[in-house]
Structure 1
Amino acid sequence: MFALLIFLSSTHICKQPATMAEEHVKVKMLCTSTVVPAVPTVKRSMFLSNLDLIWIPIANSHSVLFYKTNPEMEFTTVTDMLKRSLSSVLVDFYPVAGRLSTKASGETGRPEIDCNDGGVEFVEASIDMDIEDLEEDEFRHKSFFKELVPMRDGSKHENYDGPLFSVQVTGFRGGGICIGSSIHHVVADGSSFWHLMFCWAECCRGSPVSKKPEHMRTTFKREEKIDCATTNISFSAEEVVINNIEGAQIFKFVRDDLLTKDVEINVSKSEADKRRLLEFILKDQTEDLEICSFHFNEEMIEKLKERAGTSSSFVAVSAHFWICVTRAREVPDNEPVGFGMSANSRGRVKPPLPPTFLGNCICMGFAQTTAKQLLGQDIRFAATLIKELIKSCSSEGQVDNLIDWVDCRLGSGSPLPSLALEIIGGRYFVVAGNSPKFPVYELDYGWGKPLNAQIPTLNGVGAMMLFPGRDDGIDIHTRLPPRQMETLKQILMIIPD
């Protein structure tokens, strides 16, 4: 029997039943303006690669950063500084100030970004509480957090022509602000988004942009497209043959002519499969769901790495979370369970792209096994499977195969929403988003680093969003029905010795 080591210094910060104080917290919208680049930029249509297009049907990404400010500084002074610096940074990040043209038009005959200096939505608001109240409560998730972000969602509109980036700055009583943001995934992946936020913070402190974005989306523009009639790209599963994870599967984009009969399992979903999966997703979205964050300190992470047999903090924490959330959801033994992730491919494409590339350059993959197999093994099983998944997502040719896969699906008439459902995985799939390596707590707008970073909303049930801890370790945000969340709280922070 395993001994249990309980890390009392670790925390889980969850939404509690609403108190009277929380129910009466009011967020008041003061004004909305549009921030445009400080200097007019060249009007042009920007090519969207297939790595961008697959994100058109996906909901916007939202985040909130909390800051203490000088109580003597007027709120309008703070917002003026933020607007001026945002205007300056948009000169370099001009596609973010553009608009999405979803109609197949222009030279490419496909959706594009109209770089027209349409601007960024900037909302100013106030909240009738002190930021110290949230700080004392360790920024436990609150139902009103979603009111701290402009809840725009381009995926809900077939011909969305609103801003691609929206910001809300909310002032607290007695000083303190939060910066809520909403960005359309088509314009930026996680690396690009946090690069934008970092550069904005630089400008707000009075410094020039130290690392300007590179606009190189045409790198992924095909002069000659794949002949889909003779060579097909499948999103397929390969059986893993490594001893301790034998029988599990890794899903990736592979040319059919490179697959052997022994390992190829075509998983292209039928329309009926997609409808059933969509029904599951919509049902999950309408359930009463609770958002909770968990902090893994360095001591916990080192213990997990030792148990998992890995030097990677991401692998160790993700493997532990995958096991615990599967147990908390009481998944039937023979039900497929999976772990999905995306890998930053900037340094893996040929020629390599700089870290400052603005756009989407990530490749997705999934690992799958059964609940019985995952829960019947120790953590090394899950960790080894995730390590193999990382190798697969990072392998040479995956980005090219993904681009060709999208071409073939679009060429056959598959609409973009249907395309997204083909690679979304199953109902009991944990999908990891964000990264503990992003510079979240380096974003100093002149008032020091953030007190806390929050996810006001989260897509998917049992998904995990990873952030760096403020001082050390890793924070994980997830969303589950209350009963399942209560189970997760009881088991996630206990590390078997």
Structure 2
Amino acid sequence: MEITVHSSKSLKPDYGDGCRVAGDVIPLSVFDMVNYDKYIFYVYAFHPSAPPSVALEAGLARALAAYPEWAGRVGDGPAIVLCDASAWFADATTDSELGSGATALLAAGSKVLSLYPSGDGTEELLLVQATRFRCCSLVLGFTMHHKVADGPAMWNFMAAWGQATRGVAINPVQVHDRTSLFARRGPPQIRFEHRGVELKPLDEKPGGGGTQGAQVAGIGDDEVVVHKTLDFSREWIMELKSHVSEGGPRSYSTLQCLAAYFWRCITKARGLDGRQATMIRIAVNGTRMRHPRVPKGYTGSVVLWAWPTTTARQPLDRPLRYAVELISREVARMDDAYFRSFIDFASSGAVEEEMLVPTADAAEVRLGNNVDLDSVLAIPFPKLDFGCGAPFFFRPCYSPAPVDGAIYVVKSLAGDGSVDAYVPLLSRTMESFKKCCYSLPVPPLVAARL
């Protein structure tokens, strides 16, 4: 698949008849500060007939007026400077077709890298590439900086771009205030331990504090991480949930059951010593805060992470419900009180005094014995519409390479209740993992397609 970029340009916000005075500064919140300092990459594919590039550019400029953070720059403070500098937009084509093999083509290894901007050496916080295929399908590749927003807030902006392109009102209404929502209480109520969880000492090595985990013996820096896409049918998921919940006090969510399933399979495939610690990292959205609630149109990050922990032997020797319940309990623990405790701690001055830094360090991520699971099951894909309907394909992307054990779980765009999972593992682990997917005693109905 050869991509030809015909043009690229900087786009500034289009305020119409109004004129916003540039130069405002939005301080980063305590949640922004502990988020990853890196770009996130997404690829969406749309059936014909997509709007022309001139319409996409105009819609993007109007969306940037509603979300000026994406045309700003990260400044000192730290903060986002609303300087109306620009976002970056590229127009490209390819002679390839997107037919029945679209999924295979778009998911194929390094080929997908040419469908979105890399973000290397740039100051822009948002970069987009529109690639038109010979069949007139459109692929939009997004490169978005994580310091600006978390996944749901990124989604809000992408949906706003579609709304602006179609000429309809942008909804939800944007909320740009990042400080008053997360004000420190007086007196502070720090009820939970946050050292070694969200924050760690500056000189702590990766794997310290329990957040990244020990390294698997024998893994070298040059080992290849390979990627597989799994599709789990609605029937298989229902069978899995029924299997886990049978005879138990309550039912469990799709995410909890899948997280436990992956954790178990990967632990077995890695061949860990039964006494070694293993953890699964699960993002927990701060929308569960109550006093006050986080508005739907909030534009920043409001995510922390749960780290259910056990020894490698436990998920394999016990019923799958053990891992599911462990995950459920740890996620439930991160309620309004936990988030408010984190706000109070992060605002207490201890971060500066003790020179604490985020444990979410993109340069140090190596999961080793652990698993990281990001879910976008709640994303309403049908609302991403540029006038040609909802996307028929979506995948999260990685640059320069995926991380061993960092999984994305996505609601299938087929609309049949199935779930897609993007699983990157070391090559020597992947074959064992695929066998585990069929051999572990979970549902007798196995319709997962590898």
TM-score normalised according to structure 2 size? 0.84
Is 1:274 aligned with 2:217? Answer: no
Could you say which residue in structure 1 is the equivalent of 2:41? 62
CA gap 1:421/1:360 in 2 versus in 1, 3 angstroms: same
Equivalent residue for 1:130, pick from 97, 118, 121: 97
1:34: Cα distance to partner?
1.3
Is 1:305 aligned with 2:255? Answer: no
CA gap 1:423/1:149 in 2 versus in 1, 3 angstroms: closer
Aligned CA-pair RMSD: 3.1
Which shows bigger deviation, 335-344 or 207-216?
A: 207-216
CA gap 1:368/1:424 in 2 versus in 1, 3 angstroms: farther
Could you say which residue in structure 1 is the equivalent of 2:423? 478
Letter in 2 for 1:375: L
Structure 1: where are the runs of 5+ without partners? 1-24, 104-109, 237-250, 254-266
CA gap 1:372/1:150 in 2 versus in 1, 3 angstroms: same
Could you say which residue in structure 2 is the equivalent of 1:152? 119
Is 1:191 aligned with 2:152? Answer: yes
CA gap 1:475/1:409 in 2 versus in 1, 3 angstroms: farther
Contact 2:376/2:408, CA 8 A, preserved across alignment: yes
Following the alignment from structure 1 to structure 2, what is the Cα–Cα distance between the partners of residues 30 and 284? Answer: 40
TM-score normalised according to structure 1 size? 0.77
Following the alignment from structure 1 to structure 2, what is the Cα–Cα distance between the partners of residues 134 and 204? Answer: 29
Could you say which residue in structure 1 is the equivalent of 2:274? 333
Following the alignment from structure 2 to structure 1, what is the Cα–Cα distance between the partners of residues 194 and 366? Answer: 11
Following the alignment from structure 2 to structure 1, what is the Cα–Cα distance between the partners of residues 105 and 240? Answer: 24
Equivalent residue for 1:87, pick from 50, 61, 64: 61
Q: Deviations over 1:140-163 (max 9, x none)?
A: 43321012111116xxx8xxx711
1:427: Cα distance to partner?
2.3
1:223: Cα distance to partner?
6.2
Equivalent residue for 1:363, pick from 304, 307, 311: 304
Letter in 2 for 1:48: L
Once the two structures are superposed, the pairs formed by residues 59-458 of structure 1 within 5 Å of their partners are 59-70=38-49, 78-101=52-75, 103=76, 110-132=77-99, 134-135=101-102, 137=104, 139-152=106-119, 162-220=123-181, 222=183, 234-235=193-194, 271=203, 273-274=205-206, 286-309=222-245, 310-393=251-334, 395-407=335-347, 408-414=349-355, 416=357, 420=361, 427-457=368-398
Runs of 4+ in 1 over 6 A off after TM superposition: 223-228, 275-279, 421-425
Q: Deviations over 1:266-325 (max 9, x none)?
A: x967945438869959x7774311122111111111111111213311111111111111
Which shows bigger deviation, 404-413 or 371-380?
A: 404-413
Q: Deviations over 1:45-95 (max 9, x none)?
A: 01111100112x53211110011213xx7xxx6211211111111111111
CA gap 1:424/1:308 in 2 versus in 1, 3 angstroms: farther
What secondary structure sits across from 1:346 in the alignment? helix
1:344: Cα distance to partner?
1.4
Is 1:33 aligned with 2:9? Answer: yes
1:409: Cα distance to partner?
4.8
What secondary structure sits across from 2:433 in the alignment? helix
Could you say which residue in structure 2 is the equivalent of 1:258? none
1:328: Cα distance to partner?
1.7
Letter in 2 for 1:126: T
Could you say which residue in structure 2 is the equivalent of 1:246? none
CA gap 1:112/1:269 in 2 versus in 1, 3 angstroms: closer
Structure 2: where are the runs of 5+ without partners? 246-250, 445-450
Following the alignment from structure 2 to structure 1, what is the Cα–Cα distance between the partners of residues 220 and 393? Answer: 28
Following the alignment from structure 1 to structure 2, what is the Cα–Cα distance between the partners of residues 271 and 427? Answer: 20
Could you tell me the percent identity over the aligned residues? 21
CA gap 1:460/1:223 in 2 versus in 1, 3 angstroms: same
Contact 1:409/1:419, CA 8 A, preserved across alignment: no
CA gap 1:171/1:334 in 2 versus in 1, 3 angstroms: same
Q: Deviations over 1:362-403 (max 9, x none)?
A: 22221110111111111101110111011112x232122223
Letter in 2 for 1:198: A
CA gap 1:293/1:136 in 2 versus in 1, 3 angstroms: closer
Which shows bigger deviation, 344-353 or 383-392?
A: 344-353
1:97: Cα distance to partner?
1.3
Following the alignment from structure 1 to structure 2, what is the Cα–Cα distance between the partners of residues 234 and 136? Answer: 44
Could you say which residue in structure 2 is the equivalent of 1:465? 408
Contact 1:349/1:399, CA 8 A, preserved across alignment: no
Letter in 1 for 2:46: Y
Contact 1:363/1:398, CA 8 A, preserved across alignment: no
Could you say which residue in structure 2 is the equivalent of 1:53? 33
Letter in 2 for 1:400: R
Letter in 2 for 1:291: H
Which shows bigger deviation, 375-384 or 58-67?
A: 58-67
CA gap 1:428/1:278 in 2 versus in 1, 3 angstroms: closer
Letter in 1 for 2:179: T
Following the alignment from structure 1 to structure 2, what is the Cα–Cα distance between the partners of residues 371 and 476? Answer: 22
Following the alignment from structure 2 to structure 1, what is the Cα–Cα distance between the partners of residues 297 and 326? Answer: 30
Q: Deviations over 1:468-488 (max 9, x none)?
A: 111222211121122322222
What secondary structure sits across from 1:453 in the alignment? strand
